[in-house]
Chains A and B, each alone.
Chain A
Amino acid sequence: MRAARANCPSRPIVFSLLLALVALVPEVISAAPQKNSNEEWLVLPGDIGRPGGRLVVSLRAEPKTLNPLIATDISSREVIGTMQADLVHIDRATQLTEPALAKSWKISPDGLQYTLVLRRGLKFSDGQPLDAEDVLFTFRLYLEEKVHAPQRDLLILDDKPISLRKVDSQTIVFQLPKTYSVAERLFDGLSILPKHLLEKPYEEGKIAQIGTLTTPANQWAGLGPFRLKEYVAGQRLVLERNPYYWKTDAKGNRLPYLDELVFLFVPSADAQVLRFQSGETDIISRLGAENFSVLSRQPGDYTMVDAGPGLEYNFLFFNLSDPTEKTPSEVPQKQKWFREEKFRQAVSAAIDREAIVRLVYQGRGAPLWGLVTPGNRRWRDEKRPHPPRSLEKARELLKEAGFSRGAASNGDSGLLDSSGKPVEFSLITSSSSAERTKMATLIQDDLKQLGMRVQVVPLEHRSLLDRVTQTKQYDACVLGAVSPDADPNADISVWLSSGGLHLWNPSQAHPATPWEAEIDRLMKEQLYARTFGQRKKLYDRAQEILWEYQPMIFLVSPDILSGARKAVGNFRPAVLEPYVLWNVEQLYFKDDVVKATR
């Protein structure tokens, strides 16, 4: 079958092209890079791989754009991550910053100036050299208001933008308006863009029209390990090796190893599993626990990896926001209970987190008592208590808060508040997440044992978001979020009372409660603190307050589950996004014969 295909007459052009590429690769690799003083490559540790091969990965949704200035969806970001590079990068394995395009950075004593020095000899994937001008241009785009880049808000501290200036063609100074702890982490994911391709569209105001999927391959370039080759609408995106990539392995072989990286668009999670199982894709990630155990149970030529809990946290919260004109009249009545700390503590104590881990995630997850998940190794607070489920404690707390069990006016027995009203509320959850609907159903049953009548209301995701963030028409909600980074600053808008993700009562003008004011103070202080020790102490205290007042009742953090063909080398899933392709430049096929001709 394979041999027959190789003899097909219609392919000679492609085939000879491929030959030429293969012939080219050893040459590039054999050139020992460090010899040339004009080129300073980054040397990566890890297994020495062999060049060649085509890696096929599935994506849940089509990427929408290749342009980092407008990409906000996961698929686009995942693809862009393999085509672009940043100045300073967060190593997904160690969760620490490491030099990337910038070979080094210096911080001024006052913490306001970051001086970054670029590697020498860097080239975009179209062969054009990179210098400080590109960096200045890129940040001008990010900061330009008219561009509406999603990165813009990151670069504005205290309403003042970060400014930068060029020292020489290799050196750039970033001037912060205010000290900012670990400002170098900001650079992660900020792709440096080619000025020579973007300047004209920018001046014509067409920046959003470039870097779309239909942009010809020669009009788009980046500094990542792969570059655009072909896009077929609705089907696949094919990337090819960037011959100018700036990393090598320990032996001096130029990375990446792979010739091609193919993203197949497979819109259903189950179909992704089936395609992986049939051998049509080589790597699968973002797996659900049930599919993971199906794959683990059925032997195949693949290895499944459970990387442990990631940075996703699932939580329950009550509507504590101020009633607006749209708020239904019964909500303020219920908020009297929700605002009672003991009520929230009782709910938290009654929830069987172990059962959620077992029944929803088949044991592949960790129960959670705070925002920082066990996957966040540096920031997790070892001293946090992990109290087991206790209905007695919950009942006691409710009693102290004036709730009692009894028969309501309609004759049903249940939990009553101090004025004799039965405690009942609805719990909204996103119907597109089977996991969260399950959690809500378990919680409903848990709270039934306290006499609370909870009604689970699965809503379509956008409708849910609209209720939570806009109309505030809800009682309680089960939601999940993934921290974009292990550093606490990544979640700052969850913590601050003025933040949009302070979901129980978002975007407050003034902190509604003293403890929210205290959290605000602690978080702002850690934002500007200089040492890890100081920051950790402040952050631990904020977590403690969050636990005490339980505005968010944390439930569980699922494991990061993925798998790859046994032939894929250097496959090391991390708990930070992107879970598997973060070291795509190092992935290789152990037996290239099979893949190259497939």
Chain B
Amino acid sequence: MRRKRAISGWLVLLIALHALVIFAGFFAPYDPTEQDRNNPYLPPMRLHFLDPQGHLHARPFAYSLRLREGSFDQYEENTALTIPLKFFVLGARYHLLGLVPGRWHLWGAEEQRIYLLGTDSYGRDLLSRFLYGGQVSLFAGLSGAGTTLLLGLCVGAMAGYYGGWRDDLLMRLAELFLALPWLYLLLALRAFLPLAVSPRQAFFLIVAILGAVGWARPARLVRGVVLSAKEQDFVRAARGFGATDGYLLRRHILPEASSVVLTQAAILVPQFVLAEMTLSFLGLGVPEPVPSWGNLLSALQQYSVLVSYWWMYLPALIMLPFFLGYLGLGSELQQPQEPYKIGKLTRSLE
């Protein structure tokens, strides 16, 4: 019972987080590609309730920021100019789910712009970029991990279950895939693709590439588990009762691999979000100015950003709940079943 509640709790969290990303147009205050060239590397504005006179305001507000004298990236609060936070404001046009046009944003500010997560080097709103960026990255990461694991599961199960020459062949193939200089193949691939790759095409490209490159590892892990699972007593028993290969794999052997697969999934999704950085370098990622989490993370690889613009790390920080959501859900699903193995044995004898 407790477990069911926990699972639905994680599900609700995940759905809420994904809604934020899917309906980014509504939740993000600005167009993620809009440049505010006078405000590059603007630190996050702090929300205040108290003004300098000590009056309490019901509506939170921020102070506008201005450059310090003679500096290119050092800002200070201008307490003379307040920016009240408004809800349900009209702003940049967007299309929800690529279809429903809209102009209403959950929150924003009038006249002045408000940046709660700060801006990047072009003066683009980091919060908006984060929300929009998830649309490509999160789903590319998820579908990439899904493809990878599905491929890995199939190959690993085949190799482990049938053994013999099929095992040899598949495992050597896996090694071949692990050993190849993918970078060069991708460069070659890039040369054959049309120059302009739209974000949508980039999405499918990323999923396909990640799936193709990544299956070999999970396949080996799954194979190892299957190798020993198929020799378990209950599997032998079931086979003795005339169970088919498909039934055995489905009912008895692959469930044994579930913990490995779930763990791999939890690792692959963030890894794939990062992998997009490499793909971007090869011209296969999501192109500027379209935001993606990979783009946001790659900005962190600069020393100057590390020491000067701490808020560029905020997107990485708020990515964590997404990944932890999956992790939590996976953990709950993976919780060992009641009396271990005996249950499976009895089930298989039914």
The residues of A with any CB-CB pair to B shorter than 8 Å are 270, 273-274, 288, 290-291, 293-294, 297-298, 328, 352, 355, 358-359, 362-363, 424, 426, 428, 431-432, 434, 437-438, 440-442, 444-445, 455-460, 462-463, 466-467, 471, 473-475
User: Given the known A-B contacts A294-B303, A457-B195, are A445 and B289 also in contact in the complex, defined by CB atoms under 8 Å?
Assistant: yes
- Contact partners of B73 in chain A: CB under 8 A: 293, 362
- B308 CB within 8 Å of chain A: yes
The residues of B with any CB-CB pair to A shorter than 8 Å are 33, 35, 37, 40, 72-73, 121-123, 187, 190-191, 194-198, 280-283, 287-289, 302-305, 307-308
- Once the chains bind, are A458 and B196 in contact (CB under 8 Å)? no
- Contact partners of A467 in chain B: CB under 8 A: 191
Given A426-B196, A455-B196; 18 other pairs, CB 8 A cutoff: A270-B302, A293-B73, A294-B304, A355-B37, A359-B123, A424-B196, A426-B195, A431-B281, A432-B281, A441-B289, A445-B289, A456-B289, A457-B287, A458-B281, A458-B283, A460-B187, A460-B281, A467-B191
User: Which of A290, A293, A352, A462 is in CB contact (< 8 Å) with B302?
Assistant: A290
- Once the chains bind, are A428 and B195 in contact (CB under 8 Å)? yes
Query: How far is the CB of A275 from the nearest CB of chain B, in Å?
Result: 11
Interface of A is mostly: helix
Q: How far is the CA of A415 from the CA of B72 in the complex (A)?
A: 35
21 A-B pairs in the complex with CB atoms less than 8 angstroms apart: A273-B303, A288-B304, A290-B304, A293-B73, A328-B194, A358-B37, A358-B40, A358-B72, A362-B72, A424-B196, A431-B283, A434-B302, A444-B289, A458-B283, A459-B283, A462-B187, A463-B190, A463-B283, A473-B195, A474-B195, A475-B195
Q: How far is the CA of A440 from the CA of B121 in the complex (A)?
A: 14
Query: How far is the CB of B101 from the nearest CB of chain A, in Å?
Result: 12
Q: How far is the CA of A355 from the CA of B35 in the complex (A)?
A: 11
- B197's closest neighbor in chain A, by CB? A457
Interface of B is mostly: loop
- Contact partners of B307 in chain A: CB under 8 A: 294, 298
Query: How far is the CB of B181 from the nearest CB of chain A, in Å?
Result: 14
- Contact partners of A290 in chain B: CB under 8 A: 302, 304-305, 308
- Once the chains bind, are B304 and A293 in contact (CB under 8 Å)? yes
Q: How far is the CA of A445 from the CA of B283 in the complex (A)?
A: 19
- Once the chains bind, are A442 and B287 in contact (CB under 8 Å)? no
- Contact partners of A358 in chain B: CB under 8 A: 37, 40, 72
User: Given the known A-B contacts A291-B304, A294-B304, A362-B73, are A458 and B195 also in contact in the complex, defined by CB atoms under 8 Å?
Assistant: no
- Contact partners of A432 in chain B: CB under 8 A: 281
Query: How far is the CB of B123 from the nearest CB of chain A, in Å?
Result: 8
- B281's closest neighbor in chain A, by CB? A431
Query: How far is the CB of B297 from the nearest CB of chain A, in Å?
Result: 14
- Once the chains bind, are A359 and B195 in contact (CB under 8 Å)? no
Query: How far is the CB of A264 from the nearest CB of chain B, in Å?
Result: 17
- A446's closest neighbor in chain B, by CB? B35
Q: How far is the CA of A428 from the CA of B288 in the complex (A)?
A: 11
- Once the chains bind, are A291 and B287 in contact (CB under 8 Å)? no
Q: How far is the CA of A467 from the CA of B73 in the complex (A)?
A: 37
Q: How far is the CA of A271 from the CA of B33 in the complex (A)?
A: 31
Query: How far is the CB of B347 from the nearest CB of chain A, in Å?
Result: 54
- Contact partners of B190 in chain A: CB under 8 A: 459-460, 463
**Which of A424, A428, A460, A473 has the most chain B CB atoms closer than 10 A to its own CB?**
A460
Query: How far is the CB of A546 from the nearest CB of chain B, in Å?
Result: 27
Q: How far is the CA of A474 from the CA of B196 in the complex (A)?
A: 10
Q: How far is the CA of A444 from the CA of B288 in the complex (A)?
A: 9
- Contact partners of B283 in chain A: CB under 8 A: 431, 457-460, 463
Query: How far is the CB of A549 from the nearest CB of chain B, in Å?
Result: 25
User: Which of A270, A362, A445 is in CB contact (< 8 Å) with B35?
Assistant: A445
- Contact partners of A288 in chain B: CB under 8 A: 304
